[in-house]
Amino acid sequence: MQDTAAPVPQTGRPVLILASSSRYRRELLERLRIPFETAVPAIDETPQPGETPEATALRLAEAKARAVAAALPAGAGRALVIGSDQVATFDGHQIGKPGTHERALEQLRAMRGREVLFHSALSLLDTATGQTDTVDVVTKVRFRDLPDAALDAYLRAEQPYDCAGSAKSEGLGIVLLEAIESDDPTALIGLPLIALTRMLLAAGYPLLAPQEAQP
């Protein structure tokens, strides 16, 4: 397991682990001002034949959490492992990360003037019980009908080639969007924090514990 955040202090609280290599999810989790570690889950993220976008996102979110939990050393103590996955879809087709400028432009052309659903699945695994709390947060996004030149200019400015759907709503990509409908505003960025904080509180994690007095 590779740590990319500050070491977790030994305070009696369970260790919190983000099972993701995504810098976007790491930055979102940092908003909660709680100590956590990150680990990259080694899983195959290929959708299964006939699998719905919702089912893909839910399966992969839980699989990421379980893969990281399984790699923890024996006697590591209780940990809460966060797995998350996002699948974008319209017309019943899954939209993955484009990877290249050409594929990103093709995605944006296909989606302009259309409504796209983003399934942001979240899974919290408690290593003390082996149980998971898993949910799919759906965000509806309507894209503006913009010309090719505008789409190309956006892609060259922001280069969102590691984002499903090729549009980063937290950045310049907001210009491409006409409307966003969601009960969890950070879900579209990659980590639904309202759902996550509910799960952590239900697991007994002290999100708003009093700060220890400094000597």
Q: Report the CATH number at residue 191.
A: 3.90.950.10
**Regarding beta strands 37-39 and 115-126, do their DSSP bridges make them parallel or antiparallel, or are they unpaired?**
unpaired
CA 159, CA 65: separation in Å to the nearest integer? 29
CA 120, CA 136: separation in Å to the nearest integer? 6
Residues paired with 134 in a beta bridge: 123
Where residue 96 falls among pLDDT bands split at 50, 70, 90?
confident
Residue 3 belongs to a domain: no
Residue 207 belongs to a domain: no
Residue 49 belongs to a domain: yes
* Ramachandran angles phi, psi of 159, nearest 5°: 50, 60
Residue 86 belongs to a domain: yes
**In terms of pLDDT, which residue wins out, 33 or 9?**
33
Domain assignment of residue 100, given as a range: 15-202
Residue 213 belongs to a domain: no
SS3 20: coil
Where residue 50 falls among pLDDT bands split at 50, 70, 90?
confident
Mean pLDDT computed over every residue of the chain: 89
SS3 131: strand
Catalytic residue flag (residue 85): yes
The pLDDT assigned to 210 comes to: 67
Measuring CA to CA, how many Å separate 10 from each of 32, 135, 153, 158?
A: 18, 29, 48, 40
Residue 144 belongs to a domain: yes
**Cβ-Cβ contacts under 8 Å for 163 (sequence gap 6 or more):** 24, 97
Q: Are residues 36 and 29 in contact, defined by beta-carbon separation less than 8 angstroms? A: yes
Residue 129 belongs to a domain: yes
Candidate list 44, 85, 145, 152, residue with the active-site label: 85
Q: What is the pTM of this model?
A: 0.85
Residue 209 belongs to a domain: no
Measuring CA to CA, how many Å separate 101 from each of 94, 123, 214?
A: 18, 31, 51
